[in-house]
Structure 1
Amino acid sequence: MKEKIISEINLDLVFQCNNFSQFSNKLKDTKTNLIFESIFWEKVFLSWINTILKNEDYELPNYIFDKKSFSLGLQIISNQEIASLNKKWMQKNGPTDVLSFPIISDESLNNLDHIELGDIFISLEMALEQSYEYKHSIYREMIWLASHGFLHLLGWEHNNEHDLENMLNFQEYLITRLD
């Protein structure tokens, strides 16, 4: 594994979170409240970008590795909103847990210093349901979904079981780097 030293990375994060006061009784602890703060997500994504940029062995587009400035959007939305996006853009009915809309797609970005990665949408309601189903915290589930969406923004796909397993393993690796 080749690891390199990187200089400071800039991240422009556009964060939006709907009012989810109806879930306030389920979202009581301090750690959970972090998922509603822009500065928390900025630190998370910066950590992941730094982890990825320090190692060129990852299967990502080459033009990612020499960039110093990134931007992306993260929105925490309702089931109704994500179902609407899912129908419009994925032609699928019903809500899903996370949707990503990558912008980077070709090597014409090689000459740019700044890359707009795209947008991630996470359904808080689906994340809550899945946190109960998988018996872990909403904090853990939101981090998991954000990492999945983030990897899609970087070009990861999972068109077969092998690719999905690799992606899920890498998500776990990124999450452990946060601790």
Structure 2
Amino acid sequence: MIRHNNPTGLSAMAAFTLFCLPACSARSIEIPKNICDTPVTQGLTAPLLKPAGELSEWHTTGWGEKGRSVCIVSVDRSEALRLRVSWHTDSIDPMKYSSLDNSATGLWEPRRIHHLAESATLGDNGSIATTRCKGKGKWNFTLALKVTRDRKIVHQRKAIDKFMRAYMPATMKTVGCTPP
């Protein structure tokens, strides 16, 4: 279950937990079908959120609109995924923002990858992809994913690659970015 920081959801969760404690022998957590307002296959998200726990999501007002936005997915109140989207008029080189010197988006062992967006990088702990958008004037759209849950797990490259190859085009559709 995903909770969006609202008091009614918290009350309902507390009531469910009190009711379930005596009757439930094991806690079953469902991976959300949407991450930061974008549909994504649960099988692609699960490896990035394990071990599973209580999920919650928070994002800045205007998520996906012009400018910069952040969305954080937490597991058991601990940040697991940090997604950043930005709209900008200039093209960027994702490798510049992939450096570990960049505290916001720095990636471990970043490499350029192809067939994800116009330009993209993939690291052991995240990915950055950027593309121009047709019909949006001279706007470029960038999506950065950083896995922040367990900094000791550094070999998530394959799971991140699979996730981003589905999530980037789905997010572009969600925010109205059509590639040229």
TM-score range for the pair, normalised by the shorter chain length: 0.3 to 0.5
> TM-score scaled by structure 2?
0.32
Higher relative contact order (CA 8 A, sep 6+): 1
Name which one, 1 or 2, has greater alpha-carbon Rg: 2
- Structure 1 or 2: more strand by fraction: 2
